[in-house]
Amino acid sequence: MVCLFSGLPLLGLTTQEAVDNWTWMITYGAPIATSAISTCLFLVYYTSEPLEFLLSKDNKEEACRHIKQVYADQSATEEIY
């Protein structure tokens, strides 16, 4: 959405105004900024593996921790063992 709406200020400009104005840099810079933010989020915030991957690699201890985060019921972790 940021990338889509960042081009709105350019609609009312003539060709010469667009050449003289630096507003077009927002349109080109918005995808770079959003990509940098999403890359940082994937590296820092989303660090846990998916539950199916943990179960396929027989990492039951970490899988139980993830199940406890999702389900409050203890019987869900008992089915793994």
Q: What is the tens place of the pLDDT at every residue in 10-36? A: 778 788 887 788 877 877 888 898 899
Please state, in angstroms and rounded to a whole number, the distance separating the CA atoms of residues 23 and 32: 15
pLDDT of residue 2: 67
- Tell me the per-residue pLDDT of 32-63, one tens digit each, with 9 for 90 and over: 988 999 999 999 998 788 888 888 988 888 88
Distance CA 49, CA 56 (A): 11
What pLDDT is attached to residue 38? 94
